[in-house]
Structure 1
Amino acid sequence: MMSERKVSVYIATSVDGYIATENDSLDWLFRSEPEGDAGYGEFYDTVDTVIMGRRTYDWVMEQVEGKYPYEDKQSYIYTSRLEESTSDITFTSEKPSTLIDRIKKVDGGTIWLVGGGAIINEFLQNNLIDEFIISIAPALIGKGIPLFNNSKMEHNLELTDVRRYGQFAQLHYSIKKAND
């Protein structure tokens, strides 16, 4: 029997819907301090698998000076470059639906689709995301990398929770699947 694992996007955006500036900066996000960790710890404790795109992985590795912060999770990094995987990190160009089907066949926790925008949109277009947890930061940045970029599909969402962390509003949505 397949487990009830879910693919979650837990992410912060500016009020105008950007996840980073055009040059991948998150300075706008770090200028606004949420209350506590904005629920990150509670969410992270449910996660056992992390998926991200190569640009996001490179950005994370630069920020943490080469010490991968998700070593306690199984990680999949989407890339077109040939790279040797490690015990915790699998570099892949596997079709997203194939990867998610394989992961969901094994019991476990939440599958966190970290980002960036391109990989989130690819998973969204393939109807592979189960929920969004979006923290809205009190900033307008005008242009940059949008969270949602020209999705070719319509998606019905259900608001399941709203939380406030200082100046941050956090919206929890589940994606209503065709059979819901």
Structure 2
Amino acid sequence: MGKLNVFNFISLDGYYKDASNGINWHQHGQEEGEFSAKNLEYGSILLFGRITYEMMASWWPSQNAIDAMPEVARGMNQAEKIVCTNTLQYTNWQNTRIMNGDIVAQIAELKKTSPKDIAILGSGNLSTQLAEAGLINTYQIMIDPVGIGKGTPIFNGMQRQLNLKLTDTRSFKSGTVLLSYEAL
């Protein structure tokens, strides 16, 4: 039985994307890159919403990504990936399949049957939907030491309270802090 884990980064003022839906304010230095590469070694299934998928698929297979962060690019490109969408008809990023229809029921079934853990990267709308359904086991929130003023809050539109237990913290030299939580 696989666990469902969320990894997302946010600004100090609580946004996971800025007012232009961008994430270029995120500070991802060498130490954060090494952390990402190590996490990809665990072989989790990567789960994306359509918007995050399109952003990731446009970057990680590129030569620029391979040159900039070879280990992370290798892990991202080799990983099994699922994009949750009712609009995409095909994918062009290797090892990716589409999941559409009742995403909540399908993810609940995937958790029961998968020998692998599942990691949601970014994908705020998908994370919110699955958090409301009580399907997420752990949350890793990386807080960048930057305020962006306007944007989309993490768990935007959530209708229920989300109670979490802090299980670990980590500080990076850049000033970024990683908070790890377990769902209660």
TM over 0.5: yes
Spell out, residue by residue over 1:49-90, the C-alpha distance to the aligned partner (whole angstroms, 9 max, x if none): 111111111112233466895342222111122513687222
* Structure 1 segment 21-100 matched on structure 2, within 5 A: 21-30=18-27, 33=29, 35-37=31-33, 39-64=35-60, 70-84=76-90, 88-100=95-107
After TM superposition, the score normalised by the length of structure 1 is 0.83
Q: How many Å separate the matches in 2 of 1:127 and 1:45?
A: 26
Change (3 A) 1:126 1:133: same
Q: How many Å separate the matches in 2 of 1:91 and 1:36?
A: 29
Change (3 A) 1:36 1:93: closer
> 8 Å contact 2:10–2:154 — kept in the other structure?
yes
Aligned length: 172
The structural deviation recorded for 1:98 is 2.0
Match of 1:11 in 2: 8
Percentage identity across aligned positions? 23
Q: Which runs of 5+ in 1 are unaligned?
A: none
Q: How many Å separate the matches in 2 of 1:174 and 1:111?
A: 15
> What is the DSSP-based 3-state SS (H/G/I as helix, E as strand, rest coil) of the residue aligned with 1:28?
coil
- Would you tell me which structure has more helix in proportion to its own residues? 2
Q: How many Å separate the matches in 2 of 1:66 and 1:41?
A: 17
Amino acid at match of 1:169: V
More deviation in 159-168 or 98-107?
Answer: 98-107
Q: Which runs of 5+ in 2 are unaligned?
A: 66-72
Q: Does 1:104 align with 2:111?
A: yes
Q: How many Å separate the matches in 1 of 2:88 and 2:6?
A: 26
Match of 2:183 in 1: 175
Change (3 A) 1:63 1:41: closer
